[in-house]
Structure 1
Amino acid sequence: MADTSWHPAMTAGLQAMHQRDDAYFSNLMQSPYLPTRSRLFAAFRQPMSKVRYILIGEGPYPREESATGVCFMDGAVSRLWSEDGSGLSKKVNRATSLRNFIKMLLVAAGALDPAHTSGSALQKVASSATNAHSPWIQQLAELQQHLHEQGFLLLNASLVFRPDVAPAKDGKAWQPFLQEVLIAMAAHAAQSGTELPSLILWGKIAEQLRQIPAAADFPHIIAEHPYNLSFIRNETMQQLFQPMHLLRSC
Protein backbone atom coordinates (compact mmCIF):
# COMPACT_ATOMS: atom_id res chain seq x y z
CA MET A 1 0.00 0.00 0.00
CA ALA A 2 2.67 2.54 1.02
CA ASP A 3 5.61 3.39 -1.23
CA THR A 4 8.81 1.74 0.01
CA SER A 5 10.46 5.13 0.51
CA TRP A 6 8.25 5.60 3.59
CA HIS A 7 8.75 2.21 5.24
CA PRO A 8 11.59 3.18 7.64
CA ALA A 9 9.78 6.34 8.78
CA MET A 10 6.50 4.49 9.23
CA THR A 11 8.15 1.77 11.28
CA ALA A 12 9.91 4.35 13.44
CA GLY A 13 6.67 6.29 13.83
CA LEU A 14 4.65 3.28 14.96
CA GLN A 15 7.39 2.35 17.42
CA ALA A 16 7.39 5.90 18.80
CA MET A 17 3.63 5.74 19.29
CA HIS A 18 3.98 2.47 21.17
CA GLN A 19 6.71 3.91 23.37
CA ARG A 20 4.48 6.84 24.32
CA ASP A 21 1.41 4.67 24.97
CA ASP A 22 1.96 0.92 24.92
CA ALA A 23 -1.80 0.30 25.15
CA TYR A 24 -2.83 2.46 22.18
CA PHE A 25 -2.79 -0.17 19.45
CA SER A 26 -4.34 -2.91 21.60
CA ASN A 27 -7.17 -0.50 22.47
CA LEU A 28 -7.51 0.44 18.81
CA MET A 29 -7.97 -3.22 17.85
CA GLN A 30 -10.78 -3.62 20.36
CA SER A 31 -13.10 -1.02 18.83
CA PRO A 32 -14.33 -0.19 15.32
CA TYR A 33 -12.22 2.38 13.51
CA LEU A 34 -11.89 3.89 10.06
CA PRO A 35 -10.50 3.57 7.44
CA THR A 36 -10.98 -0.13 6.75
CA ARG A 37 -9.94 -2.37 3.85
CA SER A 38 -6.19 -1.84 4.33
CA ARG A 39 -6.47 1.88 3.57
CA LEU A 40 -4.92 3.18 6.79
CA PHE A 41 -1.65 4.21 5.11
CA ALA A 42 -3.04 4.90 1.62
CA ALA A 43 -1.70 8.48 1.61
CA PHE A 44 1.84 7.11 1.55
CA ARG A 45 1.45 5.77 -1.97
CA GLN A 46 2.90 9.13 -2.97
CA PRO A 47 6.71 8.59 -3.10
CA MET A 48 8.71 10.73 -0.69
CA SER A 49 10.81 12.14 -3.51
CA LYS A 50 7.73 13.70 -5.13
CA VAL A 51 6.40 15.53 -2.05
CA ARG A 52 6.37 19.33 -2.23
CA TYR A 53 3.40 19.96 0.06
CA ILE A 54 2.22 18.08 3.15
CA LEU A 55 -1.49 18.79 3.47
CA ILE A 56 -2.86 17.76 6.85
CA GLY A 57 -6.52 17.71 7.76
CA GLU A 58 -8.28 16.62 10.92
CA GLY A 59 -9.12 12.95 10.48
CA PRO A 60 -10.86 10.43 8.20
CA TYR A 61 -14.47 10.88 7.15
CA PRO A 62 -16.77 9.19 9.72
CA ARG A 63 -18.28 6.86 7.10
CA GLU A 64 -16.73 3.56 6.00
CA GLU A 65 -17.15 4.08 2.27
CA SER A 66 -15.88 7.66 2.50
CA ALA A 67 -12.77 7.09 4.64
CA THR A 68 -9.99 6.35 2.13
CA GLY A 69 -6.85 7.11 4.13
CA VAL A 70 -6.29 10.15 1.90
CA CYS A 71 -7.49 13.43 3.40
CA PHE A 72 -10.58 15.03 1.87
CA MET A 73 -10.80 12.39 -0.89
CA ASP A 74 -14.21 10.90 -0.12
CA GLY A 75 -14.43 7.33 -1.39
CA ALA A 76 -18.21 7.63 -1.81
CA VAL A 77 -17.72 10.32 -4.45
CA SER A 78 -17.09 9.61 -8.09
CA ARG A 79 -18.82 12.33 -10.15
CA LEU A 80 -18.13 15.93 -9.15
CA TRP A 81 -21.12 17.43 -10.93
CA SER A 82 -24.80 16.57 -10.88
CA GLU A 83 -25.97 14.78 -13.99
CA ASP A 84 -28.56 17.47 -14.75
CA GLY A 85 -25.95 20.25 -14.55
CA SER A 86 -27.68 21.95 -11.60
CA GLY A 87 -24.62 22.02 -9.34
CA LEU A 88 -22.23 19.73 -7.56
CA SER A 89 -23.28 16.11 -7.17
CA LYS A 90 -25.28 15.02 -4.15
CA LYS A 91 -22.36 13.00 -2.82
CA VAL A 92 -20.01 15.98 -3.06
CA ASN A 93 -22.56 18.11 -1.22
CA ARG A 94 -22.74 15.49 1.53
CA ALA A 95 -18.94 15.70 2.00
CA THR A 96 -18.95 19.25 3.37
CA SER A 97 -15.18 19.72 3.50
CA LEU A 98 -14.70 18.45 -0.05
CA ARG A 99 -17.57 20.63 -1.29
CA ASN A 100 -16.04 23.78 0.22
CA PHE A 101 -12.59 22.86 -1.10
CA ILE A 102 -14.00 22.56 -4.63
CA LYS A 103 -15.85 25.86 -4.29
CA MET A 104 -12.64 27.54 -3.11
CA LEU A 105 -10.85 26.15 -6.19
CA LEU A 106 -13.62 27.55 -8.42
CA VAL A 107 -13.26 30.96 -6.77
CA ALA A 108 -9.48 30.76 -7.27
CA ALA A 109 -10.05 29.91 -10.93
CA GLY A 110 -12.27 32.96 -11.40
CA ALA A 111 -15.31 30.80 -12.12
CA LEU A 112 -17.23 31.83 -8.99
CA ASP A 113 -17.68 35.14 -7.22
CA PRO A 114 -16.61 34.58 -3.59
CA ALA A 115 -19.81 36.35 -2.49
CA HIS A 116 -22.00 34.00 -4.57
CA THR A 117 -20.92 30.36 -4.49
CA SER A 118 -24.22 28.51 -4.62
CA GLY A 119 -27.57 28.59 -6.38
CA SER A 120 -27.64 30.06 -9.87
CA ALA A 121 -23.94 31.01 -9.76
CA LEU A 122 -22.88 27.40 -9.18
CA GLN A 123 -25.47 26.15 -11.67
CA LYS A 124 -23.80 28.20 -14.40
CA VAL A 125 -20.45 26.53 -13.72
CA ALA A 126 -22.01 23.07 -13.47
CA SER A 127 -23.85 23.55 -16.74
CA SER A 128 -20.55 24.36 -18.43
CA ALA A 129 -18.85 21.45 -16.68
CA THR A 130 -21.32 18.89 -17.98
CA ASN A 131 -21.32 19.88 -21.64
CA ALA A 132 -19.50 17.89 -24.29
CA HIS A 133 -16.47 20.20 -24.47
CA SER A 134 -16.13 20.95 -20.78
CA PRO A 135 -12.82 22.43 -19.57
CA TRP A 136 -13.43 20.97 -16.11
CA ILE A 137 -12.55 17.57 -14.69
CA GLN A 138 -15.47 15.23 -14.05
CA GLN A 139 -14.30 12.74 -11.41
CA LEU A 140 -12.86 13.04 -7.91
CA ALA A 141 -10.12 10.60 -8.95
CA GLU A 142 -8.91 13.25 -11.42
CA LEU A 143 -8.68 15.85 -8.65
CA GLN A 144 -6.68 13.45 -6.49
CA GLN A 145 -4.37 12.69 -9.41
CA HIS A 146 -3.80 16.40 -10.04
CA LEU A 147 -2.95 16.92 -6.37
CA HIS A 148 -0.43 14.08 -6.54
CA GLU A 149 1.09 15.53 -9.69
CA GLN A 150 1.56 18.83 -7.84
CA GLY A 151 3.43 16.97 -5.11
CA PHE A 152 0.83 16.74 -2.35
CA LEU A 153 1.05 14.22 0.47
CA LEU A 154 -2.57 14.10 1.66
CA LEU A 155 -2.53 13.23 5.36
CA ASN A 156 -4.65 13.71 8.46
CA ALA A 157 -3.56 14.69 11.96
CA SER A 158 -5.13 11.42 13.09
CA LEU A 159 -4.94 8.49 10.72
CA VAL A 160 -8.01 6.91 12.34
CA PHE A 161 -11.56 7.86 13.23
CA ARG A 162 -13.33 6.19 16.15
CA PRO A 163 -16.90 7.16 17.07
CA ASP A 164 -16.18 6.80 20.79
CA VAL A 165 -12.90 8.79 20.86
CA ALA A 166 -12.56 12.55 20.38
CA PRO A 167 -10.63 13.34 17.17
CA ALA A 168 -8.32 15.65 19.12
CA LYS A 169 -7.32 12.75 21.39
CA ASP A 170 -6.46 10.48 18.48
CA GLY A 171 -4.70 13.40 16.80
CA LYS A 172 -2.41 13.76 19.80
CA ALA A 173 -1.72 10.02 19.83
CA TRP A 174 -0.51 10.12 16.21
CA GLN A 175 1.88 13.04 16.73
CA PRO A 176 4.91 10.77 17.36
CA PHE A 177 4.19 9.04 14.05
CA LEU A 178 3.99 12.33 12.16
CA GLN A 179 7.14 13.51 13.93
CA GLU A 180 9.03 10.61 12.32
CA VAL A 181 7.46 11.37 8.93
CA LEU A 182 8.73 14.96 9.13
CA ILE A 183 12.17 13.83 10.31
CA ALA A 184 12.39 11.56 7.27
CA MET A 185 11.27 14.36 4.95
CA ALA A 186 13.88 16.73 6.39
CA ALA A 187 16.62 14.12 5.97
CA HIS A 188 15.57 13.47 2.39
CA ALA A 189 15.60 17.19 1.58
CA ALA A 190 19.07 17.56 3.09
CA GLN A 191 20.45 14.57 1.17
CA SER A 192 18.90 15.57 -2.15
CA GLY A 193 19.59 19.30 -1.83
CA THR A 194 15.93 20.18 -2.26
CA GLU A 195 13.71 22.56 -0.30
CA LEU A 196 11.61 21.34 2.59
CA PRO A 197 7.98 20.75 1.66
CA SER A 198 5.42 23.25 2.94
CA LEU A 199 3.16 22.14 5.76
CA ILE A 200 -0.44 23.08 5.00
CA LEU A 201 -2.45 22.74 8.19
CA TRP A 202 -6.24 22.82 7.99
CA GLY A 203 -8.11 23.16 11.26
CA LYS A 204 -7.23 23.35 14.94
CA ILE A 205 -6.26 19.70 15.35
CA ALA A 206 -3.83 19.87 12.42
CA GLU A 207 -2.48 23.18 13.71
CA GLN A 208 -1.37 21.43 16.90
CA LEU A 209 1.35 19.76 14.83
CA ARG A 210 3.29 23.01 14.98
CA GLN A 211 4.18 21.94 18.51
CA ILE A 212 6.13 18.84 17.49
CA PRO A 213 9.88 19.51 17.28
CA ALA A 214 10.41 18.33 13.69
CA ALA A 215 7.84 20.82 12.36
CA ALA A 216 9.83 23.86 13.42
CA ASP A 217 11.94 24.11 10.26
CA PHE A 218 9.14 23.50 7.76
CA PRO A 219 7.33 26.40 6.06
CA HIS A 220 3.79 26.65 7.43
CA ILE A 221 0.56 27.63 5.70
CA ILE A 222 -2.40 27.60 8.10
CA ALA A 223 -6.12 27.85 7.39
CA GLU A 224 -9.43 27.07 9.00
CA HIS A 225 -10.81 23.60 8.35
CA PRO A 226 -12.71 23.38 5.05
CA TYR A 227 -15.97 22.47 6.79
CA ASN A 228 -16.15 26.19 7.60
CA LEU A 229 -17.83 28.27 4.89
CA SER A 230 -15.18 30.96 5.41
CA PHE A 231 -12.65 28.57 3.84
CA ILE A 232 -14.21 29.25 0.43
CA ARG A 233 -13.19 32.92 0.71
CA ASN A 234 -9.73 32.29 2.21
CA GLU A 235 -7.46 34.38 -0.01
CA THR A 236 -4.29 32.63 1.17
CA MET A 237 -5.69 29.32 -0.03
CA GLN A 238 -6.88 30.86 -3.28
CA GLN A 239 -3.41 32.25 -3.96
CA LEU A 240 -1.77 28.91 -3.17
CA PHE A 241 -3.99 26.82 -5.41
CA GLN A 242 -4.80 29.22 -8.26
CA PRO A 243 -1.63 28.48 -10.31
CA MET A 244 -2.20 24.72 -10.04
CA HIS A 245 -5.46 24.64 -12.05
CA LEU A 246 -6.54 21.50 -10.22
CA LEU A 247 -10.06 21.48 -11.69
CA ARG A 248 -8.99 21.93 -15.29
CA SER A 249 -9.11 18.86 -17.51
CA CYS A 250 -6.02 19.85 -19.46
Structure 2
Amino acid sequence: MFDFDPLFELEPVSVESIGFTEMARLPLGELMAADWAEALGGVEAELRAVLDFLAAETASGHQVLPTPSNVLRAFRQPLAEVKVLIVGQDPYPTPGHAVGLSFCVDPRTRPIPRSLANIYRELEADLGIPARVHGDLSAWADQGVLLLNRVMSVRAGAAGSHRGKGWEKITTAAVTAVANRRTADGGRPPLVAVLWGKDADTVRQLLSGTAVVSSAHPSPLSASRGFFGSRPFSRVNELLKEQSCAGVTWELPQVP
Protein backbone atom coordinates (compact mmCIF):
# COMPACT_ATOMS: atom_id res chain seq x y z
CA MET A 1 0.00 0.00 0.00
CA PHE A 2 1.05 3.65 -0.09
CA ASP A 3 3.71 4.52 2.47
CA PHE A 4 1.80 7.59 3.58
CA ASP A 5 3.19 9.43 6.60
CA PRO A 6 0.47 9.40 9.26
CA LEU A 7 1.22 13.09 9.86
CA PHE A 8 -1.02 13.90 6.92
CA GLU A 9 -3.94 11.74 8.09
CA LEU A 10 -5.11 10.64 4.65
CA GLU A 11 -7.45 7.74 4.06
CA PRO A 12 -5.41 4.66 3.13
CA VAL A 13 -5.61 3.23 -0.34
CA SER A 14 -7.62 0.01 -0.18
CA VAL A 15 -5.22 -2.16 -2.18
CA GLU A 16 -2.12 -4.07 -1.13
CA SER A 17 0.00 -2.71 -3.98
CA ILE A 18 -0.64 -0.12 -6.62
CA GLY A 19 0.85 0.94 -9.92
CA PHE A 20 0.48 3.95 -12.17
CA THR A 21 -2.48 2.40 -14.01
CA GLU A 22 -4.44 2.03 -10.79
CA MET A 23 -3.43 5.51 -9.62
CA ALA A 24 -4.83 7.02 -12.81
CA ARG A 25 -8.27 5.75 -11.84
CA LEU A 26 -8.39 6.60 -8.15
CA PRO A 27 -10.13 9.75 -6.86
CA LEU A 28 -7.68 12.62 -6.37
CA GLY A 29 -8.56 12.66 -2.68
CA GLU A 30 -6.96 9.23 -2.31
CA LEU A 31 -3.76 10.38 -3.99
CA MET A 32 -3.09 13.64 -2.17
CA ALA A 33 -4.21 15.93 0.64
CA ALA A 34 -7.81 17.07 0.35
CA ASP A 35 -7.01 20.73 -0.27
CA TRP A 36 -4.53 19.79 -2.99
CA ALA A 37 -7.18 17.59 -4.63
CA GLU A 38 -9.49 20.60 -4.73
CA ALA A 39 -6.78 22.97 -5.97
CA LEU A 40 -5.67 20.64 -8.77
CA GLY A 41 -9.15 19.73 -9.90
CA GLY A 42 -8.74 21.93 -12.96
CA VAL A 43 -5.84 19.80 -14.22
CA GLU A 44 -7.22 16.43 -13.15
CA ALA A 45 -7.49 15.22 -16.74
CA GLU A 46 -3.88 16.21 -17.42
CA LEU A 47 -2.70 14.44 -14.26
CA ARG A 48 -4.49 11.26 -15.22
CA ALA A 49 -2.95 11.47 -18.69
CA VAL A 50 0.52 11.73 -17.16
CA LEU A 51 -0.14 8.74 -14.92
CA ASP A 52 -1.29 6.78 -17.98
CA PHE A 53 1.96 7.79 -19.70
CA LEU A 54 3.94 6.49 -16.72
CA ALA A 55 1.98 3.23 -16.84
CA ALA A 56 2.90 2.92 -20.53
CA GLU A 57 6.55 3.56 -19.73
CA THR A 58 6.48 0.79 -17.15
CA ALA A 59 4.65 -1.57 -19.52
CA SER A 60 7.39 -0.94 -22.11
CA GLY A 61 10.01 -2.15 -19.66
CA HIS A 62 11.31 1.21 -18.48
CA GLN A 63 11.85 1.89 -14.80
CA VAL A 64 10.08 5.06 -13.71
CA LEU A 65 11.33 7.10 -10.76
CA PRO A 66 10.13 7.70 -8.14
CA THR A 67 7.93 4.71 -7.38
CA PRO A 68 4.14 5.04 -7.77
CA SER A 69 3.73 5.43 -4.01
CA ASN A 70 6.04 8.46 -4.00
CA VAL A 71 5.46 10.20 -7.32
CA LEU A 72 2.83 12.54 -5.82
CA ARG A 73 4.43 12.70 -2.39
CA ALA A 74 4.87 16.50 -2.50
CA PHE A 75 1.07 16.85 -2.58
CA ARG A 76 0.55 14.79 0.57
CA GLN A 77 1.68 17.84 2.53
CA PRO A 78 -1.48 19.95 2.96
CA LEU A 79 -1.55 23.03 0.75
CA ALA A 80 -2.72 25.13 3.68
CA GLU A 81 0.49 24.40 5.61
CA VAL A 82 2.94 25.54 2.92
CA LYS A 83 5.07 28.53 3.89
CA VAL A 84 8.18 27.92 1.78
CA LEU A 85 8.23 26.69 -1.82
CA ILE A 86 11.49 25.20 -3.15
CA VAL A 87 11.28 24.38 -6.85
CA GLY A 88 13.53 21.69 -8.32
CA GLN A 89 13.96 20.39 -11.87
CA ASP A 90 13.17 16.68 -12.13
CA PRO A 91 13.88 13.66 -9.90
CA TYR A 92 17.30 12.09 -9.54
CA PRO A 93 17.57 9.45 -12.31
CA THR A 94 19.59 6.99 -10.21
CA PRO A 95 17.43 4.06 -9.02
CA GLY A 96 16.77 4.20 -5.30
CA HIS A 97 17.45 7.93 -4.99
CA ALA A 98 14.22 9.74 -5.90
CA VAL A 99 11.56 9.87 -3.20
CA GLY A 100 9.12 12.45 -4.57
CA LEU A 101 10.51 15.56 -2.84
CA SER A 102 12.87 17.84 -4.75
CA PHE A 103 16.54 17.49 -3.80
CA CYS A 104 15.65 14.81 -1.21
CA VAL A 105 16.89 11.21 -1.40
CA ASP A 106 16.23 7.98 0.42
CA PRO A 107 17.84 8.11 3.90
CA ARG A 108 20.04 5.13 3.02
CA THR A 109 21.57 6.71 -0.10
CA ARG A 110 25.37 7.02 0.09
CA PRO A 111 26.98 9.16 -1.11
CA ILE A 112 24.36 11.86 -1.40
CA PRO A 113 23.99 13.58 -4.78
CA ARG A 114 26.41 16.41 -5.48
CA SER A 115 23.67 19.05 -5.76
CA LEU A 116 22.47 18.15 -2.28
CA ALA A 117 26.04 18.14 -0.98
CA ASN A 118 26.34 21.71 -2.28
CA ILE A 119 23.09 22.66 -0.55
CA TYR A 120 24.55 21.33 2.70
CA ARG A 121 27.78 23.25 2.06
CA GLU A 122 25.85 26.50 1.66
CA LEU A 123 23.70 25.70 4.70
CA GLU A 124 26.85 25.40 6.80
CA ALA A 125 28.31 28.60 5.38
CA ASP A 126 25.03 30.45 5.93
CA LEU A 127 23.91 29.20 9.33
CA GLY A 128 26.81 27.12 10.65
CA ILE A 129 24.78 23.91 10.45
CA PRO A 130 27.03 20.89 9.78
CA ALA A 131 26.31 18.72 6.77
CA ARG A 132 24.51 15.43 7.28
CA VAL A 133 25.64 12.14 5.80
CA HIS A 134 22.04 11.37 4.78
CA GLY A 135 19.86 13.24 2.31
CA ASP A 136 16.44 12.93 3.95
CA LEU A 137 14.85 16.39 3.86
CA SER A 138 11.45 15.30 5.15
CA ALA A 139 12.01 17.30 8.36
CA TRP A 140 11.83 20.41 6.20
CA ALA A 141 8.63 19.21 4.53
CA ASP A 142 7.10 18.57 7.95
CA GLN A 143 7.52 22.29 8.70
CA GLY A 144 5.69 23.48 5.60
CA VAL A 145 8.51 23.48 3.03
CA LEU A 146 7.05 22.28 -0.26
CA LEU A 147 9.84 20.48 -2.14
CA LEU A 148 8.33 20.47 -5.62
CA ASN A 149 10.03 19.26 -8.78
CA ARG A 150 8.95 21.07 -11.94
CA VAL A 151 8.74 17.64 -13.60
CA MET A 152 7.76 14.96 -11.12
CA SER A 153 9.06 11.76 -12.74
CA VAL A 154 11.95 10.50 -14.83
CA ARG A 155 13.02 7.36 -16.67
CA ALA A 156 15.80 5.65 -14.71
CA GLY A 157 19.20 6.64 -16.04
CA ALA A 158 17.83 9.36 -18.33
CA ALA A 159 17.76 12.81 -16.71
CA GLY A 160 15.12 15.10 -18.19
CA SER A 161 13.40 12.26 -20.04
CA HIS A 162 9.90 13.17 -18.83
CA ARG A 163 10.02 16.84 -19.69
CA GLY A 164 7.24 17.89 -22.01
CA LYS A 165 5.03 14.95 -21.02
CA GLY A 166 2.45 16.99 -19.11
CA TRP A 167 3.94 17.57 -15.68
CA GLU A 168 4.68 21.23 -16.39
CA LYS A 169 0.98 22.12 -16.62
CA ILE A 170 0.31 20.31 -13.34
CA THR A 171 3.13 21.98 -11.45
CA THR A 172 2.18 25.34 -12.93
CA ALA A 173 -1.27 24.82 -11.42
CA ALA A 174 0.33 23.78 -8.13
CA VAL A 175 2.56 26.86 -7.89
CA THR A 176 -0.38 29.07 -8.85
CA ALA A 177 -2.47 27.48 -6.11
CA VAL A 178 0.22 28.13 -3.52
CA ALA A 179 0.70 31.74 -4.60
CA ASN A 180 -3.02 32.56 -4.85
CA ARG A 181 -4.07 31.36 -1.41
CA ARG A 182 -5.93 33.85 0.73
CA THR A 183 -6.75 34.04 4.43
CA ALA A 184 -10.30 34.49 5.73
CA ASP A 185 -9.87 38.27 5.70
CA GLY A 186 -8.56 38.28 2.14
CA GLY A 187 -4.89 38.62 3.02
CA ARG A 188 -1.99 36.47 1.90
CA PRO A 189 -0.69 33.71 4.14
CA PRO A 190 3.09 33.76 4.70
CA LEU A 191 5.07 32.43 1.75
CA VAL A 192 8.63 32.56 0.44
CA ALA A 193 9.59 30.96 -2.87
CA VAL A 194 13.12 29.65 -3.47
CA LEU A 195 14.09 29.46 -7.13
CA TRP A 196 17.40 27.78 -7.92
CA GLY A 197 18.37 27.78 -11.58
CA LYS A 198 16.67 28.48 -14.91
CA ASP A 199 14.05 25.73 -14.70
CA ALA A 200 12.81 26.98 -11.35
CA ASP A 201 12.83 30.57 -12.59
CA THR A 202 10.16 29.67 -15.15
CA VAL A 203 7.55 29.88 -12.37
CA ARG A 204 8.54 33.38 -11.25
CA GLN A 205 5.73 34.92 -13.32
CA LEU A 206 3.25 32.88 -11.29
CA LEU A 207 4.47 34.36 -8.01
CA SER A 208 3.37 37.98 -8.23
CA GLY A 209 3.38 39.49 -4.75
CA THR A 210 5.38 36.58 -3.27
CA ALA A 211 8.76 37.06 -1.64
CA VAL A 212 11.36 35.29 -3.80
CA VAL A 213 14.91 34.12 -3.09
CA SER A 214 16.71 33.14 -6.29
CA SER A 215 20.19 32.16 -7.42
CA ALA A 216 22.05 29.74 -9.64
CA HIS A 217 21.28 26.05 -9.25
CA PRO A 218 23.27 24.07 -6.64
CA SER A 219 24.48 21.66 -9.33
CA PRO A 220 28.28 21.28 -9.52
CA LEU A 221 28.01 22.82 -13.01
CA SER A 222 26.57 26.09 -11.71
CA ALA A 223 26.92 26.37 -7.92
CA SER A 224 30.05 28.50 -8.16
CA ARG A 225 28.22 30.97 -10.40
CA GLY A 226 25.98 32.41 -7.72
CA PHE A 227 24.62 29.66 -5.49
CA PHE A 228 27.54 29.63 -3.10
CA GLY A 229 27.33 32.74 -0.96
CA SER A 230 23.65 33.37 -1.68
CA ARG A 231 22.60 32.63 1.93
CA PRO A 232 19.14 31.32 1.00
CA PHE A 233 18.31 29.78 4.36
CA SER A 234 18.83 32.86 6.49
CA ARG A 235 17.15 35.01 3.84
CA VAL A 236 14.08 32.78 3.83
CA ASN A 237 13.78 33.03 7.59
CA GLU A 238 14.21 36.80 7.50
CA LEU A 239 11.45 37.09 4.91
CA LEU A 240 9.16 34.83 6.94
CA LYS A 241 9.82 36.94 10.02
CA GLU A 242 8.82 40.03 8.04
CA GLN A 243 5.50 38.25 7.43
CA SER A 244 5.08 37.53 11.16
CA CYS A 245 5.76 33.83 10.59
CA ALA A 246 8.12 31.50 12.42
CA GLY A 247 11.21 30.58 10.45
CA VAL A 248 12.19 27.10 9.36
CA THR A 249 14.47 25.00 11.54
CA TRP A 250 16.89 24.05 8.79
CA GLU A 251 19.01 21.72 10.92
CA LEU A 252 18.17 18.14 10.03
CA PRO A 253 18.25 15.19 12.45
CA GLN A 254 21.59 13.41 12.50
CA VAL A 255 19.70 10.15 12.02
CA PRO A 256 16.47 10.38 9.99
TM-score by length of 1: 0.67
Corresponding position of 1:46: 77
1:55 deviation in Å?
Answer: 0.6
The total of aligned residue pairs comes to 206
Identity of aligned residues (%): 25
CA distance in 2, matches of 1:248, 1:26: 36
1:47 deviation in Å?
Answer: 1.3
Contact 1:202 1:222 in 2 (8 A): yes
1:155 deviation in Å?
Answer: 0.5
Which residue, out of 208, 215, 223, partners 2:215? 223
Corresponding position of 1:185: 178
Higher RCO (C-alpha 8 Å, min separation 6): 1
Q: Write the mapping of 1:54-93 to structure 2, written as runs, cut at 5 A.
A: 54-75=85-106, 77=108, 90-92=110-112
Corresponding position of 1:170: 163
CA distance in 1, matches of 2:95, 2:118: 21
The answer to whether 1:9 aligns with 2:20 is no
Q: Secondary structure at the match of 1:91?
A: coil
Which residue, out of 116, 120, 124, partners 1:102? 120
Corresponding position of 2:65: 34
Contact 2:93 2:157 in 1 (8 A): no
| C-alpha distance after superposition, 1:210-231 (max 9, x if no partner) | 35xx433433222222113426
Corresponding position of 1:130: none
1:160 deviation in Å?
Answer: 1.0
| C-alpha distance after superposition, 1:73-130 (max 9, x if no partner) | 111536xxxxxxxxxxx422xx11111111111111236xxxxxxxxxxxxx68xxxx
Q: Secondary structure at the match of 1:153?
A: strand
Q: Secondary structure at the match of 2:65?
A: coil
Corresponding position of 1:198: 192
Flag the structure with larger Rg. 1
Deviates more, 1:4-13 or 1:151-160: 4-13
CA distance in 2, matches of 1:42, 1:106: 27
Q: Secondary structure at the match of 2:40?
A: helix
Corresponding position of 1:118: none
Residues 222 and 34 (structure 1 numbering): CA distance in 2 closer, same or farther, change over 3 Å?
same
1:70 deviation in Å?
Answer: 0.6
Residues 171 and 59 (structure 1 numbering): CA distance in 2 closer, same or farther, change over 3 Å?
farther
Corresponding position of 1:152: 145
CA distance in 2, matches of 1:138, 1:164: 23
Residues 36 and 232 (structure 1 numbering): CA distance in 2 closer, same or farther, change over 3 Å?
same
| C-alpha distance after superposition, 1:34-87 (max 9, x if no partner) | 111411110122211211111111111102311101111111536xxxxxxxxx
Q: In structure 2, what residue type is equivalent to 1:50?
A: E
Residues 152 and 14 (structure 1 numbering): CA distance in 2 closer, same or farther, change over 3 Å?
same
CA distance in 2, matches of 1:191, 1:168: 41
TM-score by length of 2: 0.66
- After superposition, the CA RMSD in angstroms is 3.3
Gaps of 5+ in 1: 79-89, 112-124, 127-136
Residues 190 and 14 (structure 1 numbering): CA distance in 2 closer, same or farther, change over 3 Å?
same
